[in-house]
Chains A and B, each alone.
Chain A
Amino acid sequence: MTRVLDVDDLSVRFETDDGTVQAVDALSFTLDEHEVLAVVGESGCGKSVSLMSLLRLLPPSAHVSGRAQFGGHDLLTAPASRIRRVRGREIAFVFQEPMTSLNPSFRVGRQIAEVLRRHLGLTRRAAERRAVELLELVRIPAPDRRVNEYPHQLSGGMRQRVMIAMALACDPKVLVADEPTTALDVTIQAGILDLMRDIRERLGTSIVLITHNLGVVADIADRVLVMYAGRKVEEAPVKDLFRGPQHPYTVGLMGAIPRPGGADHQGRLREIPGRVPSLVGPWEACAFAERCPRADEKTRSEVPPLREVERGHTVACFHPGPE
């Protein structure tokens, strides 16, 4: 497996009126060619911010540190001109809400063509021809008619396909999909997941899938990274994680979702008491300590380091284990 992206000790801080917010704290992860890595966590855990920081998509108030090796360069120190070449061309983003990511006043074909003309220097005509091919690639019926439509004329699922087509325009090495199916209905979601699988198979694209939906993770991910309050708390190959979650937060998340087919009308869903802590640091404790049934003195006074419990399965907890 060729390594595509190697992120090491990534931290993102925001200076606010209330103090320093540590949105991402010493996060390390890697991404291999052809791999689907899922980054899982609840709102505010830093999953989107960490990926956005790699391409400098954050506001100037963000302080980013660490290293991120991609294509022989460190993305965090590379000159802006280099980042502009990477952004959209080698690493492409797909966001949750396609309606707000598309420009409502331009035809979708023109928006896709813009990417091609800017990054690949295609002529207008060549770019528009390629736009039709891209719509075909993401399985939009009647692509030669659809290129001439405006975003509002397309359904939600279709718009998300257009976003993916745009992201794939330059044949990127990495596709970062941030909650790509959250705004969509389940029957439409199924199609988008199939499409992402297909893209990985046919084009060999690596995918970082940011999501809170463990069902989506189970469907498509190879490896999973669980984040809590800006830190990585667990990482494992998908089957290992679902078979034997080690961190009490992961265990809690898995017990919190009602499972289709497993309806036991008496059984209750697991609740995680309390709420996500404020990210105004610094802390000298496990971020999950306040909500954790396993917490003790040590948990409250030290940050648990990441340890490998089995091959490829790491967890940041002093008391790891499935239950």
Chain B
Amino acid sequence: MNGTPTLEVENLVKHFRVGSQLLGSGAVVHAVDGVSFSIAEGEMLGLVGESGSGKSTVGNCVVRLLEPTSGTVRLKGRDITHLARRELRPLRRDMHIVFQDPYSSLNPRMTCGDIVGEPLRIQGLARGRELEATVHELFDRVGLRPELRHRYPHELSGGQRQRVGLARALSVSPSLLVADEPVSALDVSVQAAILNLMRDLQARMGFSCLFITHDLATVEYLCDRVAVMYLGQIVELAATAELFTSPKHPYTQALLSAAVVPDPEVQRTRTRIVLEGDIPSPLAPPSGCRFRTRCPLEHESAPRSHEEEPPLIDVGRGHFVACHLVHPGRDDAHLLDAAELA
């Protein structure tokens, strides 16, 4: 965990223009607005958020499927933010992505063996019999019967397809794996197997991972640290145990309180913080604090929350929070308390 971080993201911004620019009726979607974090060697960072929070856009910018509007993305110290396609190609060995939908992210006209071997072929890392042997070994490693190499994606179950996606991503032994909701489309019993597999593979191969999900329980199971996103920004970032035991941002608290626990006796006695309204449109994010329109503590932070964007600051032990009401000097007893909010 020393030396240069595998991934450094600094002040990442991604805006999308929508509508007609020519007629002047265009608008700008503020998908990601000033996101910074880093992932150390061998670390798993969970990026959590609800739909529209910009978490997938961050993932796509990191592996440069999208070009950031501004900010910097560094892979093992090298700035890759604006590299051209051709310059990126050799770097594709070092970072890979696994998508949510194993149905649409595998080429239906290729056999699964060819799919897994493709990155090796393109990178010129193996060919012929050697390629064949590596693919065989990769199938074995992700828990697929080697015979399945000759099958097409449609012949496999969802879980098997996701394993093919993982084998393909890991074929070139990348330093960074971005996993965008890799288990959300799968059944519960299959999810467990894929999550266990990811943990085993990470322990064995030592890659760093940006794990993007909406599911808090998964993050708690898998990740070392967690970043919570809301409307294009990180509102809280902390070590997993720390975030789950003492969440400080009101949004994180609401999110944790809304997650359902599979135990009726616990679930029915929990205090739930119900947020008013819906996530605002990223076309016109609120001024100042982006969470203020739904924040149960808005009355305390106004009018400052309307004027100033709260910076993401360290409140101790590497726990970062972006809230006007939370700061390092503040005594723990005064911090937002779930029971108090309800």
The chain A residues found within 8 Å of chain B, CB to CB, are: 42-43, 141, 155-158, 185-191, 193-194, 212-219, 221, 238-239, 242, 252-261, 263, 268-272, 275
Contact = CB atoms under 8 A, between A and B. Distances in A.
B273 to A, nearest CB: 9
Nearest to B200: A268
12 contacts: A42-B188, A155-B278, A186-B50, A186-B216, A189-B258, A194-B274, A221-B264, A254-B262, A255-B192, A258-B218, A258-B222, A271-B196
A196 to B, nearest CB: 13
Greatest chain A CB density within 10 A among B274, B278, B279 is at: B278
A188 B254 CA distance: 11
Contacts of A43: 187
B300 to A, nearest CB: 20
B189 A186 contact: no
Contacts, number: 126
A106 to B, nearest CB: 22
Contacts of B258: 186-187, 189-190
A256 B217 contact: no
Given A218-B260, A261-B244, A271-B196, A187 B255 contact: yes
Contact of B260 (A158, A216, A252, A253): A216
Contact of B264 (A156, A238, A258, A261): A238
A268 B196 contact: yes
Given A186-B255, A215-B262, A239-B265, 16 more contacts: A42-B189, A185-B214, A185-B279, A186-B260, A187-B274, A188-B278, A213-B260, A215-B261, A219-B264, A219-B268, A257-B217, A257-B262, A258-B217, A260-B261, A268-B196, A268-B199
Contacts of A190: 258, 272, 274
A66 B260 CA distance: 36
Contact of A219 (B188, B221, B267): B267
A156 B278 CA distance: 9
Nearest to B272: A190
Given A190-B274, A194-B274, A216-B260, A257 B220 contact: no
Contacts of A238: 264
